[in-house]
A and B are shown apart, each in its own frame.
Chain A
Amino acid sequence: MAEEVKKETPAAFKVTIDNITIDVAPGTTILNAARSIGGDVAPPAMCYYSKLEGSGGKCRTCLVEVAAGSTADPRPMPKLVASCRTTVMDGMIVKNITSEKVTDARNGVVEFLLINHPLDCPICDQAGECHLQDLGYEHGKEGTRYQFARRTFKREDIGPYIQLHMTRCILCYRCTYVADQITNKRVHGIVDRGDHAAISTYISRAVDNDFSGNMIDVCPVGALTDRTFRFKNRVWFTKPVDAHRDCENPECCGKATLWLRGEEVFRVTARKDQWGEVQSFDGKPGWICNTCRFDKKETKDWTIEGQTLVARHSVIGANKYKKLEMPAETIKEVMNGRDPKLMMNIHNVSEVNNPNIQLSEIEGPAHSEDFNRSAEHVAGEGESTQWGMKK
């Protein structure tokens, strides 16, 4: 039987995404095929989460154009498809960033996601590692066409560790999948429907479960935040290090990222991969238990392995790495040698976050003295480029 199937289906499907052709295993989704190419070819995904079964298909940010369905049936698909839930066919041709239709639709989706969003990044703990921020930066407009009052909800503590800001939620459903698949009892879910739908718990029930903290990690926005970290620090001021401990909980992977400032562990999260998802170890998602996440807040609880590679291109990466390859400066060139007037690097003028302080150069955790030095703005200590990074 298995033999027969093999004869009919080739071991690998050829798929072309934005003019790059690769081989992938049958059953792979377009999104995962694109991720294996990497870079800009990978569509943004706000609701899909590879470690959560059934996720995806909802946010519509990952829409792509299928210009040819397969070698056998090369007709284009009439509508854009959600790449996270559409599997590739042999000979399929997909357009992501090379499709105007996709860009147009994606801009639309981002606008829809933002019309009711509070845009309170300056006071949001997720700022700096928020997927909606990244998405808005890339696809959003500078102004809004929405002239109405934004939808708001009351803040709610759902249990001792998690705060829910429903106003920021994009209804990606990821947290409900975590609760279904990782915790042993779901007590929260989506109530009501349409634009009045909300995440909520059963009346007077708290989310209280050994693994509930992972909901914070999967939330792409600042709707679910860590109550033990609230307003303690901006994520880009803390220094992430990989660490592990022998966790008593057999389900917990015990590998985490500690976000430090000095000897102080400000927060503990699961380790994230370049797509912002929890990393897998030995093929298993590295979820961590609430004890590791909320109770082990001293460096002595952990064995520190070294600096975390922040793979996402967000502001958390700022100042954390040296020897970054910076692209050649072109703006000066096109402006006949003049410096651009309105463009500046916020870090160059910031009192608190001087680019000359390379966190990566500091042995061990960064201390407050290291940050205080930034106020002095020591001249000549390493030249910064336009973008605040050493060449």
Chain B
Amino acid sequence: MAKKLLLDKAHVEGIRHYDVYRREGGYRSVEKALKMQPADIVEEVKKSGLRGRGGAGFPTGMKWSFLAKPEGVARYLVCNADESEPGTFKDRYLMEFIPHLLIEGMIVSSFALGSNTSYIYIRGEYDWITDILEEAIAEAKQNGWLGKNIQGSGFDCEMYVQRGAGAYICGEETALIESLEGKRGNPRIKPPFPAIKGLYDCPTVVNNVETLAAIVPIMNEGAEAYAAIGVGKSTGTKLISACGNINKPGIYEIDMTISVEEFIYSDEYCGGIPNGKKLKACIPGGSSVPILPANLLLTTAKGEKRLMNYESLSDGGFATGSMMGSGGFIVLDEDQCVVRHTYTLARFYRHESCGQCSPCREGTGWMEKILLNIEQGKGQMSDIDLLWDIQRKIEGNTICPLGDAAAWPVAAAIRHFRDEFEWHVLNPEKCLKENFGLRHYADPIHVPA
């Protein structure tokens, strides 16, 4: 059983409340941090090797060290709790069950960064979690962990929760900042980056919920101990939200040394695929990352076992690999239709594009329409190449990565499952009849023994 750093205490009765949380050792990291120099905390985080858990995997310590510190200008810490990526639901779990862990991590981070006002920007649909967080913040304040002169240290920090209004794009950090300022959530054109000019034009750090929560074990256990868990540049533990055709969907805290195969088939994690079905494909890191067929998922192109970590999941680049992303692990069994699935994703991205830049605004809608045609047996062979060309012209040519996120799933589906697209074109009758019943129609891909 892997060591749990985040969810270890998540199921202790009453842990949602301050008294229990404190009794279980909560807020020790703040006590420790307040005795340190902020710059030393940043060093610790650097040494821990912690990488951002929001999707891009950018080293957190490095991000913190980029924060500009002009004299007399406020700095802000913003927690990105917008969690709207299809397949990703780990932050929600953490905030719902052990809200004080996030708040504790944010207090330490606010102190390290010099933020006297910190925000949690939460997905609008998580309204009940907003209440949970606000209650926890009030408790923390009552007990002197927030507010003026925290624990007599002279450090002041207020914390606020802001609800979004139902837009995936507001998870992109600059769109989030715009939205937090009360404006339309359009991503900003970078540079300048938030570390220089973010919220209210002040230097700002935006971090994911899980990233900020991980600061607590890093402070408590020490950077070296944290870095000793995991492998290579994938240190510490990672929350994976697993869903799709598996026996035990849910949130798993893994150390990043286990293999994908173990994760899917072992009883400790997903517990295999229901009804004795075979694994066909998987999206290992949330809807934006490339889908992989079973053989490439379980072993890399080099023939090595693929592991559940940043390096191994991206081994082979997009040609034969994928990405860790935000840890939304979506499993498709042999009965699932990749075209239908890709259409669903394309529909999502079309709906969520902010519409600022032409390739994303127009291209996402176009891809959706073509995919629907193919899915309904109205497609032509040339449509497959057209799709490829459209995604190619979106990727890399947009303001924010949503354009790429919309292009990658389509590219990967065509790259690895072209014959399935062709099957739809060649068998219009069949795919109309059988597709909607979600019945088996394509040869499942052989799973290596």
A residues with CB within 8 A of B: 56-61, 63, 78-80, 82, 85, 104-105, 108-109, 111-113, 115-116, 145-146, 148, 170-171, 173, 189-190, 192-197
Interface membership of chain B positions 349-381, coded 1 if the CB is closer than 8 angstroms to chain A and 0 otherwise:
011111111110111111001000000000000
Complex partner residue of A115 from B184, B350, B353, B366, CB under 8 angstroms: B366
Q: Contact: A109 with B365, CB < 8 Å?
A: no
User: 6 extra interchain contacts, Cβ-Cβ under 8 A, other than A109-B359, A194-B350, A195-B364?
Assistant: A57-B357, A60-B358, A60-B359, A80-B396, A112-B366, A115-B366
Q: A194-B350, A195-B350 are in contact. Are A58 and B396 (CB under 8 A)?
A: no
What residues on B are CB-neighbors of A193 within 8 Å? 167, 169, 352-355
Could you name 27 residue pairs across A and B whose Cβ atoms are closer than 8 Å? A57-B357, A58-B358, A59-B357, A59-B358, A60-B359, A78-B396, A79-B396, A79-B397, A85-B189, A104-B393, A108-B359, A108-B397, A109-B393, A112-B361, A112-B393, A113-B358, A115-B362, A148-B366, A148-B369, A193-B167, A193-B169, A194-B352, A194-B355, A194-B364, A196-B355, A197-B354, A197-B361
Majority secondary structure, A binding face: loop
Q: Contact: A171 with B397, CB < 8 Å?
A: no
Q: Contact: A194 with B396, CB < 8 Å?
A: no
Q: A60-B357, A193-B169, A194-B365 are in contact. Are A109 and B397 (CB under 8 A)?
A: yes
Q: Contact: A194 with B354, CB < 8 Å?
A: yes
Closest chain A residue, CB of each to CB of B378: A147
Q: A59-B357, A194-B353, A197-B355 are in contact. Are A105 and B365 (CB under 8 A)?
A: no
Q: A80-B396, A85-B189 are in contact. Are A194 and B361 (CB under 8 A)?
A: yes
In the assembly, what is the distance between CA of A144 and CA of B80, in Å? 41
Q: Contact: B398 with A171, CB < 8 Å?
A: no
Task: Verify if B399 is at the interface (C-beta below 8 Å from A).
Answer: yes
In the assembly, what is the distance between CA of A105 and CA of B394, in Å? 9
Interface membership of chain B positions 186-212, coded 1 if the CB is closer than 8 angstroms to chain A and 0 otherwise:
000100000000000000000000000
Q: A58-B356, A60-B397, A105-B397 are in contact. Are A195 and B189 (CB under 8 A)?
A: no
Task: Verify if B39 is at the interface (C-beta below 8 Å from A).
Answer: no
What residues on A are CB-neighbors of B386 within 8 Å? 145
| A176 → B minimal CB distance (Å) | 10
A-B contacts counted at CB < 8 A amount to 91
Closest chain B residue, CB of each to CB of A84: B189
Majority secondary structure, B binding face: helix
In the assembly, what is the distance between CA of A194 and CA of B386, in Å? 21
What residues on A are CB-neighbors of B358 within 8 Å? 58-61, 109, 112-113, 170-171
In the assembly, what is the distance between CA of A196 and CA of B398, in Å? 18
Q: Contact: A195 with B355, CB < 8 Å?
A: yes
Q: A193-B353, A194-B354 are in contact. Are A113 and B362 (CB under 8 A)?
A: yes
Q: Quick one: which of A61, A108, A173 has the most chain B CB within 10 A? A: A108
What residues on B are CB-neighbors of A171 within 8 Å? 355-356, 358, 361
- Count residues on chain B whose CB falls below 8 Å from chain A CBs: 28
In chain B, positions 330-356 with a C-beta closer than 8 Å to chain A are: 350-356
Q: A115-B362, A116-B362, A193-B169 are in contact. Are A63 and B355 (CB under 8 A)?
A: no
Q: A171-B355, A171-B356, A190-B184 are in contact. Are A195 and B397 (CB under 8 A)?
A: no
| B178 → A minimal CB distance (Å) | 12
What residues on B are CB-neighbors of A112 within 8 Å? 358-359, 361-363, 366, 393
What residues on A are CB-neighbors of B356 within 8 Å? 57-58, 171, 173
Closest chain B residue, CB of each to CB of A116: B362
Q: Contact: A82 with B189, CB < 8 Å?
A: yes
Interface membership of chain B positions 236-255, coded 1 if the CB is closer than 8 angstroms to chain A and 0 otherwise:
00000000000000000000
| A104 → B minimal CB distance (Å) | 8
In the assembly, what is the distance between CA of A145 and CA of B366, in Å? 10
Closest chain A residue, CB of each to CB of B353: A194
Closest chain B residue, CB of each to CB of A79: B396
Closest chain B residue, CB of each to CB of A145: B386
In chain B, positions 381-430 with a C-beta closer than 8 Å to chain A are: 386, 392-393, 396-399
| A40 → B minimal CB distance (Å) | 21
In the assembly, what is the distance between CA of A56 and CA of B184, in Å? 17
In the assembly, what is the distance between CA of A112 and CA of B361, in Å? 8
Complex partner residue of B362 from A56, A173, A190, A195, CB under 8 angstroms: A195
What residues on A are CB-neighbors of B364 within 8 Å? 194-195
| A55 → B minimal CB distance (Å) | 10
| B406 → A minimal CB distance (Å) | 10
| A383 → B minimal CB distance (Å) | 44
What residues on B are CB-neighbors of A148 within 8 Å? 366, 369
| A99 → B minimal CB distance (Å) | 13
| B56 → A minimal CB distance (Å) | 15
Q: Contact: B397 with A63, CB < 8 Å?
A: yes
Q: A194-B352, A195-B350, A195-B362 are in contact. Are A58 and B397 (CB under 8 A)?
A: no
In the assembly, what is the distance between CA of A79 and CA of B396, in Å? 6
In the assembly, what is the distance between CA of A113 and CA of B357, in Å? 10
| A233 → B minimal CB distance (Å) | 31
In the assembly, what is the distance between CA of A189 and CA of B356, in Å? 13
What residues on B are CB-neighbors of A192 within 8 Å? 355
| B237 → A minimal CB distance (Å) | 31
Q: A113-B358, A116-B362 are in contact. Are A194 and B393 (CB under 8 A)?
A: no
| A143 → B minimal CB distance (Å) | 13
What residues on B are CB-neighbors of A85 within 8 Å? 189
What residues on B are CB-neighbors of A197 within 8 Å? 354-355, 361
Q: Quick one: which of B355, B358, B392 has the most chain A CB within 10 A? A: B358
In the assembly, what is the distance between CA of A197 and CA of B362, in Å? 11
In the assembly, what is the distance between CA of A59 and CA of B359, in Å? 8
Would you list the 5 A-B pairs with minimal beta carbon distance, nearest first?
A108-B393, A197-B355, A112-B362, A194-B353, A57-B189
